[in-house]
Structure 1
Amino acid sequence: MPQAKNTLTIEIDRHEASPIYLQICERFKAAIAAGHLKPGDRVPALRGLATQLNTARGTVEMAYNILVDEGYLQMRGAAGTFVSSSLPGAVTRTATRKSRADAPRVRRIEPAADIGHDAKPLRPGLPALDAFPRKVWSRLVAYRARSGDPAALTYPEPSGYRPLRERIATYLGLSRGVECVPEQVFVTSGYRATLELILRSLAKPDDRAWFEDPGYLLARNFLVETGVRLVPVPVDHEGLDVDAGIALAADARFAFVTPSHQSPLGVTLSLARRMKLLDWASRADGWIVEDDYDSEFRYVGRPLPALKSLDRDDRVIYCGTFSKVLFPGLRLSYVVAPERAVERFGQLTKSMNAGSPYLFQAAVADFIAQGHFARHLKRMRALYAERRMLLANAIVKAFGNSVTIDLPTGGMHLVAIFRTGRDGPIDDMAMAARAREAGLAVLALSAWYLNGRARHTLRGIVVGFANVADAAEAARLARMLRRAYDG
């Protein structure tokens, strides 16, 4: 029986941003491309390679599973694992031309697949602009602009307008179960600014961080740019797979999660996983960054308490935003700092920027204090529940058995998953590109994964429903999606 050459060695670089399991994948692909491993050759056993690399067995197992999914390896039970005997010739021809610098890493998505900044139909994450109470908002802004308060003309407080921080702390305690004081609340100019504040306050060089796979695109883009060593951790029907995260990087410094409504799959992190995640953070001296981006919109029962509400060791950093509940043009977000880091956060806000504009902060504080915020959320829950059904029904009617849609219990977007066709997985990236050319702001589901071309990756589209006005518009948009699907 053919054997792998004794001289074959697999090496990893722990200083690379790419996770170890991906490095293992690329080393095997390079060995196959160079002819060091040939079809039918046996590859090292999981335990043996894990010992050689001084890494967890689960890390090697995940790499092998990916290589099997992509057709490079075959598992033959007790006989071992072998290079696929049916490996396409194109694999070696194209791979030979690839340099190590071309190896897939945790990547920034291409601009064509980015979230975007306009109000095109079906844009995920865009609230119902037609239902925002503009008259009330205009009155509050005008009142603050005419007030003559000197604070409107001077530099704003870097940590945020004090009355707004007080309103946020009260709101989080009542609606999300988050116990905090105003001094822990820091107002930022968006989630990106929030992440920058967190990392500059708590991160160290070469820190590793768990990141949901699939996970939030814009957060991934920014984290990649900062040089954080992301460790993609799979997501299933219970949310982030904490056991997989521990197997991949038990010593990670951060875990970035969307527990209330996972982005993009929409699942909720189960209570068992929440407790396991908190236990990991406590034992590993790590930080959990909870992005609670649209938790206010839940259509089955009451909104779930935040992960932060279960935190007894002060390991969860809670992040929220007004972009989803009011409108993104506000550029107002907030973060609840751990008690032990409040001083550090405060110092950095002074050096990072001069604070968010007073006018909008004061208007939002008034909007909350006068009860408009609570009434607006109540109206939007009812409206979004209706629009969610309109779009889901229209897509199912237009696509028939070609897609499956699990109605999300919350959030502002749907995920339509394509069924595998007779010729294999549907190219959702190409379909989404055609839809964008037609004027629809949809995103391919596979773009949210680290390795969007792997066989196990779900294919589909992520579509926002908040701005679908009625059944007629839903039907029209669904037909446009179907035409893009048909090519």
Structure 2
Amino acid sequence: MKTKAGAILSSIRIDRSQDRKISVQLYMGLRDIILSGGLKGGERLPATRTLASEIGVSRTTALDAVSRLISEGLLESRIGAGTFVSHTMTGRTPVKPRSAGTVSERQPRLSPSTIRAKKLFAERRRLPHKSQAFVTALPALNAFPMAQWARLSARHLRADRDAVMGYGNPYGLPRLRAAIATHLNASRGIQCDPEQVFVVGGAQQAFSLIGSMLLGQGEKVWFENPGAIGARNAFISQGADLVPVGVDDEGIIVEEGLAKAPDFRLAFVTPSHQQPLSKILSLARRLALLDAADQADAYIVEDDYDGDFYFGDQPLPTLKSIDTNGRVIYVGTFSKTLFPSLRLGFIVAPASMVDAMSTIFSAALSGVPTWPQAIVTDFIDEGHFATHIRTMRQHYKRRHEILHEQAWQLEAHMQIQRASAGFHTVGLFKDPARDERSFIEAATAAGLTLSGIGRYCLTPIEPKGVVIGYGAASDSEIRQGLDTMAHLFA
């Protein structure tokens, strides 16, 4: 290829060790040369046979890449004359080629609320995806009854295509809404009609929707400190003014919230298993919180993310079940009770909010995929869900006990708190000078997954420590993980 075009095209390098197809690599190489101005509008390309020979690919590969560029309008094929760069590229400002990972110099114009939110967002790394010690928020995936799930999945994927592949009910599959209402009544003491249940794409979407419905710019939200990062970021994105309210052995300190922001619009709590400190909101505090919300004409978001896995003594009633004035918006998720990739959660709205929420769902949302909802419905109706909950409750209780049986080797450095629900707890440093971040970095290098309590805080608290997940780790991984932590302290 002795022409100018040939010399430029010979600079394309094919990496056969990549997973990306060779024809795609060649197409991208040609496209970048054209867009960067290496070849001008109207300039002729070498024949595909010559191009293939010089670059070291098959002619079929070269034809595939060139045909793709012709279909995109970057190249033009003229019968009897050859292939040319499209004249539409004449006079265009060349686009500087970008390597993977580089950032455009031109920054997007963001709204003032987004600029503010970016500054306030809590650090949120990728959610856990690998079962090991001591990852949090991930259930024991290896204990899930996959055989029953596969059978139900096959049944529904063979069903009527309109039901499987079409647009579903924006509020959620009616059968699933009814099944959720029945389950909540039987297991969580919540009496609600199926019309109060709205199915969403996970709890995170629920928090964003609630925030968009109820919060104006700068309105105050009581937020547990420390508290759940996902909900925190969702409310910040809606322009809320988050008020950090401390947590003690009885849960959120209502008196502190009243002293800081008596005019609050919303309160966010995790009463069944505080995130991340694992405390249970006492009955006295529950009643005080309900009274405070009633006096302020505010609402309470109850995030019951793993309340089904209570393994302590008699569990306290959910906040929703003792709410007599329609102040509590209950949020649940199947990410913990089943598995995260389902991306299924639900909102139980107060009766007074059903009409407004129905309008928003029907006007602005298309609903979540129907067929996973149908599978979950049958999983509940056939009794597999209740059986799975009972099994996992004992599973997490056993893992919790193994954690504490082996915790003696950390006694000089850390106090691991007892939990009564879910699959995480906290370990508090006995040395107040110990730095969370440096300890976590050392743990990560040693193959452990830990998060510092400080990540969950709006304002710093004492003492320092780490969040320890035990649900997704095997018995041996828990023991080995504690051995590793003991060596790190030493």
Band the TM-score falls in, shorter-chain normalisation? 0.7 to 0.9
Match of 1:402 among 394, 413, 430: 413
Please report how far the alpha carbon of residue 119 of structure 1 lies from its aligned counterpart in structure 2 after TM superposition.
3.5
Match of 2:429 among 418, 421, 432: 418
Counterparts in 2 of 1:288-307, with a 5 A limit? Answer: 288-307=300-319
Cα distance in 1 between the residues matched to 2:421 and 2:120: 28
Please report how far the alpha carbon of residue 439 of structure 1 lies from its aligned counterpart in structure 2 after TM superposition.
3.1
The residue aligned with 1:322 is: 334
The AA in structure 1 aligned to 2:295 is R
Match of 2:356 among 344, 350, 354: 344
The residue aligned with 1:449 is: 457
Residue-by-residue CA offset, 1:397-425 (whole Å, 9 max, x unaligned): 332321112211111102111102xxx42
Counterparts in 2 of 1:256-405, with a 5 A limit? Answer: 256-394=268-406, 396-405=407-416
Cα distance in 1 between the residues matched to 2:486 and 2:363: 50
Cα distance in 1 between the residues matched to 2:297 and 2:119: 24
The residue aligned with 1:463 is: 468
Report the 3-state secondary structure (helix = DSSP H, G, I; strand = E; otherwise coil) of the residue aligned with 1:274: helix
Match of 2:483 among 472, 479, 484: 479
Is the radius of gyration larger for structure 1 or structure 2? 2
- Cα contact 1:449–1:457 (8 A) shared by 2: no
The AA in structure 1 aligned to 2:424 is H
Please report how far the alpha carbon of residue 148 of structure 1 lies from its aligned counterpart in structure 2 after TM superposition.
2.1
Please report how far the alpha carbon of residue 348 of structure 1 lies from its aligned counterpart in structure 2 after TM superposition.
1.4
* Aligned residue-pair number: 375
Report the 3-state secondary structure (helix = DSSP H, G, I; strand = E; otherwise coil) of the residue aligned with 1:404: strand
Please report how far the alpha carbon of residue 115 of structure 1 lies from its aligned counterpart in structure 2 after TM superposition.
4.2
The AA in structure 2 aligned to 1:469 is S
TM-score, normalised relative to structure 1: 0.74
Please report how far the alpha carbon of residue 320 of structure 1 lies from its aligned counterpart in structure 2 after TM superposition.
0.5
Report the 3-state secondary structure (helix = DSSP H, G, I; strand = E; otherwise coil) of the residue aligned with 2:222: strand
Report the 3-state secondary structure (helix = DSSP H, G, I; strand = E; otherwise coil) of the residue aligned with 2:337: coil
Please report how far the alpha carbon of residue 223 of structure 1 lies from its aligned counterpart in structure 2 after TM superposition.
1.9
Distance 1:485 1:428, change over 3 A: farther
- Cα contact 2:132–2:477 (8 A) shared by 1: no
- Cα contact 1:297–1:303 (8 A) shared by 2: no
Residue-by-residue CA offset, 1:344-379 (whole Å, 9 max, x unaligned): 111212344311111110000000000000100111
Report the 3-state secondary structure (helix = DSSP H, G, I; strand = E; otherwise coil) of the residue aligned with 1:426: coil
Which runs of no fewer than 5 residues in structure 1 stay unpaired?
1-102
The residue aligned with 2:438 is: 430
Counterparts in 2 of 1:53-92, with a 5 A limit? Answer: none
The AA in structure 2 aligned to 1:220 is R
- Cα contact 1:387–1:466 (8 A) shared by 2: yes
The residue aligned with 1:4 is: none
Distance 1:293 1:440, change over 3 A: same
Cα distance in 1 between the residues matched to 2:444 and 2:233: 21
Match of 2:123 among 92, 95, 110: 110
The residue aligned with 1:202 is: 214
- Cα contact 2:173–2:374 (8 A) shared by 1: yes
Distance 1:196 1:132, change over 3 A: same
Cα distance in 2 between the residues matched to 1:279 and 1:400: 41
TM-score, normalised relative to structure 2: 0.73
Cα distance in 1 between the residues matched to 2:364 and 2:387: 35
The residue aligned with 1:245 is: 257
Report the 3-state secondary structure (helix = DSSP H, G, I; strand = E; otherwise coil) of the residue aligned with 1:231: strand
- Cα contact 2:428–2:465 (8 A) shared by 1: yes
RMSD: 2.0
Report the 3-state secondary structure (helix = DSSP H, G, I; strand = E; otherwise coil) of the residue aligned with 2:232: helix
Give the share of equivalent positions with the same residue, in percent: 40
Cα distance in 2 between the residues matched to 1:435 and 1:115: 18
Report the 3-state secondary structure (helix = DSSP H, G, I; strand = E; otherwise coil) of the residue aligned with 2:147: helix
Report the 3-state secondary structure (helix = DSSP H, G, I; strand = E; otherwise coil) of the residue aligned with 2:336: coil
Cα distance in 2 between the residues matched to 1:128 and 1:117: 11
Cα distance in 1 between the residues matched to 2:339 and 2:446: 25
Distance 1:221 1:199, change over 3 A: closer
